[in-house]
């Protein structure tokens, strides 16, 4: 795979540094980027978001501009940006302030994103 450290999520201190089988797409030039599936999924998610926005724009051009509850003029691109940025801060706050499962923060972020797309 292109993600050299595909196994990294299971790569603990017991297995670190041990020889691994080289995958078909295990390119050396990309090794330094230290890809893992969890981080790759994050970027794939962002790419999917942007692709969805592209098709949404095709279907309903103009970006659906409006003045939301923040009294700011926003398009749906702005709303995606606000959702992603708030998701980042919700996750950070969750990590900093609580010891609960991080998935709850992701769930809260999704709820908040729906709120942002609806009202901001």
Partner 1 sequence: MNKTYNQKAWFFVIPVFVLVAFNAVVPLMTVVNYSFQETFGSNVFAWEGTRWFKQILHSERFHASLGRQFIFTFIILLIQLPLGIAIALTMPKKGWGVPVCLILMSMPLLIPWNVVGAMWNIFALPDIGFLGNSLNSLGFDYNFTQQSGDAWFTTILMDVWHWTSLVVLLSYAGLNSIQPAYYQAAEIDGASRWDIFRYIELPKMKKVLTLAILLRFMDSFMIYTEPFVLTGGGPGNATNFLSLDLVKMALGQFDLGPAAAMSLIYFLIVLLICWVFYSLMMKNEGRT
Residues that bind partner 1 (CB under 8 A): 4-5, 8-13, 16-17, 31-36, 38-39, 42-43, 65-67, 70-73, 81-82, 85, 88-89, 92, 95-96, 102
- Closest contact distance (angstroms) between CB of 13 and partner 1 is 6
**Residues in CB range of 80: below 8 A, 6 or more apart:** 49, 53, 117
CA distance readout (Å), 80 to 49, 53, 63, 70, 85: 8, 9, 11, 15, 9
Nearest distance, CB of residue 39 and partner 1, angstroms: 5
Q: How far is the CB of 6 from partner 1 (least distance, A)?
A: 11
């Amino acid at each position: 795979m292109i993600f050299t450290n595909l196994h990294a999520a299971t790569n603990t201190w017991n297995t670190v540094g041990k020889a691994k089988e080289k995958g078909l797409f295990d390119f050396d030039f990309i090794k330094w980027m230290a890809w893992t599936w969890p981080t790759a999924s994050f970027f794939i998610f962002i790419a999917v978001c942007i692709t969805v926005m592209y098709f949404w724009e095709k279907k309903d051009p103009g970006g659906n501009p409006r003045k939301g509850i923040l009294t700011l003029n926003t398009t749906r691109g702005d709303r995606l940006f606000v959702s992603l940025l708030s998701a980042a801060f919700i996750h950070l706050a969750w990590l900093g302030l609580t010891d609960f499962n991080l998935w709850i923060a992701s769930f809260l972020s999704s709820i908040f994103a729906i709120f942002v797309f609806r009202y901001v």
